Amino acid sequence: MSPGILGKKIGMTQIFRPDGQVVPVTLLKAGPCMVVQRKTPSTDGYDAVQLGLVEFIKPQRINKPTAGRLKKAGVEGAKFMREFPLGPGSDDLKTGDKVLVDQFKPKDKVDVIGISKGKGFAGVVKRHHFRGGEGSHGSMFHRAPGSIGASSFPSRVVPGMRMGGHLGNAQVTVRNLEVIDVDTEDNVLVVKGAVPGPNGGYVLVRRSKR
């Protein structure tokens, strides 16, 4: 059994439970994937499996070393590849094996990893949820960060100080999302809640660790 699967975010919608409860869900195009490389402690020093998301891609978009590895594994058209560490009971995976969405069942718990939407430069109020100052009565402190360090000691800005900067475009992990439904015909995984990234963005779905 594979520890996870690769896919793309389709978008969000909502479904109704039999009792009438509205549940926000995200549709994920999960797989089909193939095992591109099997890493073992004897050859690589650790136990892991590298999966590739099978999709249409022009041959010139893949460099020669990667194309050689894909050809050796019998995989055609895999641009997005990621490694999953393996634990006990995962020795049945080998190079060329298929990994499909049918390995997940409703009510399973999964972690979804993706790249969040890039927002460009943002101030401390939007980036770190600072309160800011008064908006009127002569205030000159509206959305400014305030003091960022002492002048006498240590006479410098402490590393890790929350300030304005690049917001988004970072790896985000959403944990313990419930699997609502699995469509094995269209390789669609329906999970409860939101998933990081834009529609069409690549995501990594793994079995929940907590």
Q: Give the model confidence (pLDDT) of 114-137 as tens digits.
A: 999 999 999 999 999 999 888 899
Q: Which residue has the higher pLDDT, 61 or 111?
A: 111
Q: From residue 128, how far is each of 37, 83, 116, 122, 144 by CA, in Å?
A: 40, 32, 16, 9, 12
Token look-up 């890493």 returns 39
What distance in Å separates the CA atoms of residue 72 and residue 70, rounded to the nearest whole number?
A: 5
209: confidence class by pLDDT, cuts 50, 70, 90? confident
Convert the pLDDT of each residue in 147-167 to its tens digit. Answer: 888 888 888 999 999 999 999
* Domains identified in the chain and CATH numbers: 4-120+173-207 (2.40.30.10), 121-167 (no CATH)
Lowest mean pLDDT among 18-22, 52-56, 61-65, 162-166: 61-65
Q: Residue 86 — φ and ψ, nearest 5°? A: -110, 145
Q: What is the structure's pLDDT at 22? A: 94
**Cβ-contact 5, 101 below 8 angstroms:** yes
Residue 91 pLDDT level (bands cut at 50, 70, 90) = low
pLDDT attached to residue 57: 80
